[in-house]
Structure 1
């Protein structure tokens, strides 16, 4: 799936992911939670590495 976001939308998604990441950090270290932490960090990293205006 190819998703195009405006800069405003990308900022909103990033803010939501960062908030969710903080909430996930508060959870226990169960296997599913560890996978979720890695997934969220990967999404944030991917968004951070994309040049402005090019968020597919």
Structure 2
């Protein structure tokens, strides 16, 4: 998953590791679900990614 997101693919493991550890803790403790449960009911979520194609 990370390899397909350029910002994450270009960031070193030592920088990413603490955030992934916090995410893992939040998921296993249920904290993520408490904070973001409203996201689970959405059918659509615009997270801002765009693909631009230009014919130069």
**Fold match, TM over 0.5?**
no
- The structure richer in helix per residue is 1
| Structure with more contact order per residue of length (Cα contacts < 8 Å, sep ≥ 6) | 1
Structure of larger gyration radius: 2
TM-score if structure 2 supplies the norm length? 0.34
